Structure 1
Amino acid sequence: MDLGISGRKAIVCASSRGLGRGCAEALADAGCELVINGLDAERLEKTAEDIRARYGVKVTAVAADVSTREGQDALLAACPDPDILVNNNGGPPRKDFRELDREAMLKGVVQNMVTPIELVQRVADGMAERGFGRIVNITSLSVKMPIEGLDLSSGARAGLTAFLAGVCRQYAGTNVTINNVLPGKMDTDRLTGGFERAAAQTGRPIEDIRADQAAEIPARRFGTAAEFGHVCAFYCSAHSGYVTGQNILVDGGLYPAAF
């Protein structure tokens, strides 16, 4: 399907690897010009080179912490008038809620709630003036279904979801949409890190832990960054203008509900 966004300009945060990279590659495949972002400058530039070579699109790499004003300024200097914004950021590590002090909680809320709101504040009006805008926030299945040890991440992302539920409707009449894509258990470094921690705590082989967790998913497997990226790209497309304020699960059926 032609997504109708060839030549559009897209900022994809935290996109040197994992789900962010999956989204960047899917948008590149649709013909978008990209600004990609990450903390590791060397890895980020390698990702940019790979995407340029594979898809033949313009890719600008901005090594910066998107949670800082300086990092956001750098992204918007590279792309002052984006048509597409994919909000993504690392989440707080898995931890028992009793171990979270105020500093950790504030940092988590800044990472996963305040930062994407700040970027929406800075780009949404320009999108509205130009008559096209697609904002996708990568949140988590944990917004809908608690995941042990991810209470801070879940709370911050749920706060983002509630905050933007009203904001998105202010922009719906200007062909600017804001949606959230909720990954379940995706085959990324973050998931692997969880397996490694579980293996260290229990003494069980990582392969057994992977197999057990995959068996809990109706699809009987983990998702891939590529298929997640294609879902994201559709909600950035010209065909999704009548969809806004939605939470789109990409979880292989793990969330057990009809609505």
Structure 2
Amino acid sequence: MDLGIAGRRAIVCASSRGLGKACARALAEAGCDVVINGRDAQKLEAAAAELASIAGVKVTPVAADLATPEGQQALLAACPDPDILINNNGGPPPRDFRELTRQQMIDGVVANMVVAIELIQKVIGPMTERKFGRIVNITSGSVKMPLAGLDLSSGARAGLTAFLAGVARTVADKNVTINNILPGAFDTDRLKGILGNAAKQKGISVDDAAAARAATIPAKRFGDPDEFGAACAFLCSARAGYITGQNLLIDGGVFNGAF
């Protein structure tokens, strides 16, 4: 399918690896010029070279911490008027909620809610004027099915979801859409780290921890990041203009509900 976005400009946050990188790859393959972002300049340069060689489009790396005004300025200096914005950020590590300090809670809300809103504030005006914009926020399956220990991440991402639900309806008539993708367990470095910690706590091998986790998923496997990227690219496409304010859960069937 031709997604109808060749030549569009995309910003993909936190995209030197994992799901963000998969989204950047899918958009580049669809013909978009892509600005990728991360805090590790070396990993970012390597990802940019890889993506450029695969897709033959312009890929611009911006090493920046988007929780800071300076980081956001650097990102938008590289792409002042994006047609597509993918908001993504790693969540805080698992922690008993009783151990959270006020500063940790503030940092978590900033990282997983405030940064996305600030970036949308900066790009949505030009999108509405051009009558084209696609905004996708990568949140988490825990927004629909909260997990103990991930309370801060779940709460901040759920706050972002509710905040943007109303905003999405105010720009839909301008061909600007805002949607969320909620990942379950995908084969990423983050999941490998979680499985490593679980293996250590239980005194088992990482392979056994992975097998036990996969067994809880109806699909009996972890998601492939490229599957996630393809779904993101479709939501960003010219074919998806009638989809807005939605939450696409991609979890292999873990959430046991009809709605």
Would you call these one fold, judging by a TM-score over 0.5? yes
AA aligned to 1:79 is C
AA aligned to 2:48 is A
Query: Any unmatched runs of 5+ in structure 1?
Result: none
Q: Which residue of 2 aligns with 1:38?
A: 38
Paired-residue identity, %: 67
The alignment's TM-score, normalised by the length of structure 1, stands at 0.99
AA aligned to 2:5 is I
Q: Which residue of 1 aligns with 2:215?
A: 215
Q: Aligned-pair distance for 1:148?
A: 2.5
Q: Which residue of 1 aligns with 2:102?
A: 102
Aligned counterparts, 1:162-201, within 5 A: 162-201=162-201
AA aligned to 2:55 is Y
| Structure 2 residue 138 is matched with structure 1 residue 138 | yes
The alignment's TM-score, normalised by the length of structure 2, stands at 0.99
AA aligned to 1:133 is G
Q: Which residue of 1 aligns with 2:127?
A: 127
What per-residue deviation string (whole Å, max 9, x for no partner) do you get for residues 101-153 of structure 1?
10000000000000000001000111000010000000000000012211000
- Distance of 1:146 and 1:165 partners within structure 2: 19
What per-residue deviation string (whole Å, max 9, x for no partner) do you get for residues 50-100 of structure 1?
111111000110000011111111111000110000000111111111110
AA aligned to 1:61 is P
| Structure 2 residue 15 is matched with structure 1 residue 20 | no
What per-residue deviation string (whole Å, max 9, x for no partner) do you get for residues 133-181 of structure 1?
0000000000000122110000000000000000010000000000000
The two structures, once aligned, show a CA RMSD in angstroms of 0.6
AA aligned to 1:144 is K
Q: Which residue of 1 aligns with 2:147?
A: 147
AA aligned to 1:210 is A
- Distance of 1:112 and 1:119 partners within structure 2: 12
AA aligned to 1:186 is F
- Across the two proteins, how many residue pairs are aligned to each other? 259
Query: Any unmatched runs of 5+ in structure 2?
Result: none
SS state at 2:61 partner: strand
